[in-house]
Structure 1
Amino acid sequence: MRGPHNIWRLIRTGATFERSGAMKMALEAVDAPAPVRFAARILGWPFAWLGLKGDPTQPPMLRAITALGPAYIKFGQLMSTRPDVVGADMARELQVLQDKIAPFPMEEARAEIEHSLGAPVEQIFSEFSEPVAAASIAQVHHARLKDTGQDVAVKILRPGIERAFRKDVDAFHFAAQMIELLSPSSRRLHPTEVINHFESVVKGELDLRMEASAADQFHANTEGDEGFRVPRMVWQHSARAVMTLEWVDGIGLSNVDALREAGYDLPALGARIVQVFLSHALRDGFFHADMHQGNLKAGPGGELVALDFGIMGQIDEYTRRVYAEILIGFIRKDYRRVAEVHFEAGYVPAHQDVEAFALALRAVGEPIFGQDATKISMARLLGHLFDVTERFGMETRTELILLQRTMVVVEGVGRSLDPSLNIWEVAKPVVETYITDNLGPKAIVRDLGRTVRTLSRFGPQLPQLVENALLRTAAAPETRRPVSRWRQMAWFVLGGAFVAILVAALD
């Protein structure tokens, strides 16, 4: 599928970018190498007349992306959260793509509801509004359930969206491969990894049942969180292409002037965004990974309301502990400990020098901490950190990259509400609480308890395991390599340790 037939799609893409005037902007934003610039011009300039016209009232980049369709719009949304790739100015321009796309007709929305839920709109809802928000993959309607009178939000996938995405993503993959072939130096931008991530995100968002499940889990995790709210799912009126959840009034966080006029405490709201993100990531290991302004609003009681759960992140408990120790190490400027954590976790190969790595980390942290609060960036620090670890042979860890990307977005949203936000002061109490609960004496006792419970499940099998080991030891030397006496003793020690743990647990 990712063959030369995609060249026509790339020509049309290049022609549209050239015709709209967005080609030069895009190449400069990503600092594209000369061979890539040359290839892009070849695909664009001679064929500019074949490009889609788009809306001439829009800025060049938005004009090109919206003309090319949903897959390009979605990719633009993703890039709006990556100022590290496209630059801060371009990222701000692309934010318009988050929830201000032209909606599809009401007739198609009604037809999809009837097809997915098995009943016409009038039979399910007593009220059903025009679209209140529209993005690349779906749009949202405000409605009222006929049987209960509950206000709900109804999210509906765009008709034919799956087929359109499959075709365009195929072309994206081909383009990424060609870029890496034409310019090996462009691999620092990781074009293939960017497209792979984009494809995985889209696949998850094209089945609203998966988003509904994520929303339900997120609601359960955060139900007791003060100042934070996740709408409750309405499962009986949800399906693959339609998702229904409770409606929550509020003001979108992109409308800062309206928030200020309504009397919201903007600095407190900005700090809360950072703190709830870190709390969810560290405490639960399950976090909203698309927390841009279009997916957040301030509720009537001042609470932060999260929306759109198509992109969620997960990290295991061990990774959370490592991440917390790295953060607290930087907060305390204990670069030696940050280095040790990387080695203990196996992130940096053991043959590397811990002291040299600690010095490299100091070079990352000190220039940032030496600035005033408005310029201290956790996202920037994490970005530099991954650059350093890459030089020391650290393998790419996708879960940490998603965490870092979300931190970039969250920090940007917080700063849009409070430009003087000190990200480290805001993060410190959350990280320290997690450290106390999960790396102190209480955590050791809890971990031992889990170990006892795990070992107890093997209790009935332990005698047989030891006996089998001894039988293998006594096997004929010509058919098996002899097992040392030390290994025999290890089995007895294991058995003795297990018995001791069980006795301690019973006491």
Structure 2
Amino acid sequence: MRGPHNILRLIRTGATFERTGAMGAVLDAMEAPPRLRAAARIVGWPFRWMGYKGDPNLPPITRAITALGPAYIKFGQILSTRADVVGVELADQLRMLQDRLPPFPTDIAKSIVEADLGQPVDDLFSEFSEPVAAASIAQVHRARIRDSGQEVAVKVVRPGIGPAFRRDIDAFHFAARFIEVLSPSTRRLRPRDVVNHFESVVSGELDMRLESASASEFAENTKNDAGFDVPKPHWGLSSRRVMTSDWAEGLPMGDPVALIAAGHDVSHIATRVIQLFLQHALRDGFFHADMHHGNLKVAANGDIIAYDFGIMGEIDEYTRRVYAEILMGFIRRDYRRVARVHFEAGYVPRDRDEAAFARALRAVGEPIFGADANRISMANLLAYLFEVTERFGMRTQTQLILLQRTMVVVEGVARSVDPQLNIWDAAKPVVSDYIKSSLGPQALARDLAKAAQTVGRYGPLLPQMVEQALWDRAHPEEAQLNVIVPKPVVPTWLVALAFAGIGAAIGLGLR
């Protein structure tokens, strides 16, 4: 499927932007130089007739993106949180992509619910509203369970969304391969791996059973987080294309005027959004990876409510510690430490100059400190950071893609609520607490305990594993050819005794 026919899809993308009038708005938002503007017009204009017409009632850019399909809509949702990158006017246009897309008919939604749950909608719910929110993958209806009278949200996947999404991703794969061939220097950014990662993550949104599981786990992890609420799923009323969860009322996070009018402390809310994200990422290693305005609300009591758990991020404990050390290094303005962590984690090739890398990081971090938040250009900061990574040969870390992307989105949401927010001041207490708990003596004791448990679990296999490893090391030629030859036997009782001694030493050290 990833053949040259995708060229047509990519040409049609540019043609759609030209036909809907979105091309000029995008070039203006990018502050593109005259030469680039002229090139875009020359390339786009001849194929204008191939572009999708879209909904003429929508603004040009949202009209183009919605016409192109769900993958493009996801990208637009991310940009909608970055007014500091694309401008306030464009961000406002893109914000409708979060939860105000054109819905599909309620009758079709009811037929999907009936087909998946095996009962008529009227037997399950005493009330079932018209769509109250519509996004790229699914739409939400407000309903009331007939048996209990409880008010719930019923999320229904759009019909035909699977093939449409696969078509978009297919073109992205082709574009990634084309970019790598055309510009070999981009291979360090691993565009194909990035597209693979994006595909695997967003594909999970198409199965409401996985989203229900994520919501359940996330609610369990965060049940003791003050001022944070997660609507819980109703498993008996959920399926592959339908998810039913508690209904939670609140004001949209993207409406700071309404929040202020309701008496909420927007500065506290903005700080809390940043801190909650970092707590979930660092403490649990499991975080909401789609925290845009449309998925966040503020309850009457000031609690932050999170919705839509189709995209969740997960990072292992080692990566969490690396990420925390990098953040703490920036917070303390210790750029040598940040550079050292990058080298130790293997993010930067070891043949590069660590001191030079630290100075480059200083040029990224120093403009942030001592400047008013509203004077910091995130677009310029990201552009320079990209130059630094290119200069030092850093490869894209696919395990950090969601974390990095969500950090950008969360910052954009927080800044829209409180433009004066200083992200570093907000992050410092959370990162400091994590560093203390994960890098101190108690953390060392926990690591040793885990090592002892691992040794104990694999104890019966250890003699055979060590014997095989010693033999392969002593006879690399035979090991490589997989030749069966007589092997000298290392006394298993000796190996077992050695590992028993290691386990005992570790156990004594933990007491």
TM-score by length of 2: 0.86
- The 1:235/1:328 distance shift into structure 2, 3 A limit, reads same
Q: Deviations over 1:148-186 (max 9, x none)?
A: 111110000111111222233323444555566667788
Shift of 1:4: 3.8
Q: Is the 8 A contact 1:466 1:491 kept in 2?
A: no
Contact 2:100 2:133 in 1 (8 A): yes
Aligned: 1:291 with 2:296: no
Question: Which residues in structure 2 correspond to 1:40-439 (within 5 Å)?
Answer: 41=41, 44-80=44-80, 90-178=90-178, 195-375=195-375, 385=385, 387-439=387-439
Q: Is the 8 A contact 2:297 2:306 kept in 1?
A: yes
Higher RCO (CA < 8 A, seq sep 6+)? 2
Alpha-carbon separation, structure 1, partners of 2:170 and 2:462: 53
**How many angstroms apart in 2 are the aligned matches of 1:21 and 1:468?**
66
In the other structure, the counterpart of 1:440 is 440
**Distance change >3 Å, CA 474–CA 204, structure 1 → 2:** closer
CA contact under 8 A between 2:69 and 2:168: conserved in structure 1? Answer: no
CA contact (8 A) 1:289 1:312 kept: yes
What CA deviation, in whole Å up to 9, does each residue of 1:290-345 have, x standing for no partner? 11111000012210000011111111101111111111111111222222222222
Q: Residues 259-309 of structure 1: CA distance to partner in whole angstroms, max 9, x if unpaired?
A: 111111111111100000000010001111111111000012210000011
Contact preservation (8 Å) 2:373, 2:419: no
1:417-446 alpha-carbon deviations (Å, 9 max, x no partner): 111112111111101111111111211122
Q: Are residues 155 and 327 of structure 1, via their aligned partners in 2, closer, same or farther at CA, if it must alter by over 3 Å?
A: same
SS at match of 1:148: coil
CA distance in 1 between partners of 2:193 and 2:31 (Å): 18
Report the AA paired with residue 305 of structure 1: I
- 1:442 maps to a residue whose letter is Q
| Consecutive unaligned residues in structure 1, runs of 5 or more | 484-488
- Residue identity matched to 1:391: R
For the Cα contact (< 8 Å) 2:54–2:67, is it kept in 1? yes
Alignment size in residue pairs: 501
CA contact (8 A) 1:80 1:90 kept: yes
For residue 25 of structure 1, what is the amino acid of its counterpart?
A: A
What amino acid does structure 2 have at the position aligned with 1:498? G
Q: Given residue 411 of structure 1, which amino acid in structure 2 is its aligned partner?
A: E
**What's the CA shift string for 1:32-56, capped at 9, x where partnerless?**
8999978865664234345443333
> Which deviates further from its counterpart, 211-220 or 66-75?
66-75
Q: What SS does the aligned partner of 2:291 have?
A: coil
User: Secondary structure of the residue that 2:153 maps to in structure 1?
Assistant: strand
Distance 1:466 1:76 in 2: 53
Matches of 2:90 and 2:188 in 1, distance apart? 19
Farther off after superposition, 20-29 or 157-166: 20-29
Partner SS state of residue 156, structure 1: strand
SS in 2 for 1:327: helix
Matched residue of 2:305: which SS?
A: strand
Superposition CA RMSD, Å:
3.7
Give yes or no for contact 2:100–2:134 (8 Å, CA) kept in 1: yes
Change (3 A) 1:212 1:32: farther
Q: Secondary structure of the equivalent of 1:291?
A: coil
Which residue identity does 2:361 align to in structure 1? L
- Return the alpha-carbon distance in structure 1 between the equivalents of residues 46 and 4 of structure 2: 19
1:497 matched to 2:502? The reply is yes
Describe how 1:6-45 pairs up with structure 2 within 5 A: 6-27=6-27, 29=29, 41=41, 44-45=44-45
Alpha-carbon separation, structure 2, partners of 1:339 and 1:126:
60
Q: 1:389 and 1:490 mapped to 2: Cα distance? A: 46
The letter of the residue matching 1:414 is A
- Structure 1's 129 and 346: CA in aligned 2 closer, same or farther, altered over 3 A? same
The one-letter amino acid paired with 1:438 is S
- How many Å apart are 1:89 and its aligned residue? 5.6
Q: Distance in 1 between matches of 2:289 and 2:147?
A: 34
Cα gap change, 1:344/1:88 in structure 2, threshold over 3 Å: closer, same or farther? farther
Note if contact 1:382-1:404 (Cα within 8 Å) is conserved in structure 2: no
- SS of residue in 2 equivalent to 1:217: helix
Is contact 1:315-1:399 (8 Å) kept? yes
Determine the C-alpha separation between the residues in 1 that align with 2:185 and 2:357.
25
**TM-score with structure 1 length normalisation?**
0.86
Answer whether contact 2:193 2:398 (CA < 8 A) is retained: no
Q: The residue matched to 2:65 in structure 1 has which SS? A: helix
C-alpha distance 232-355 of structure 1, shift in aligned 2 (>3 A): same
Comparing 428-437 and 344-353, the one that deviates more:
344-353
AA at the equivalent of 1:17 = F
CA contact (8 A) 2:328 2:428 kept: yes
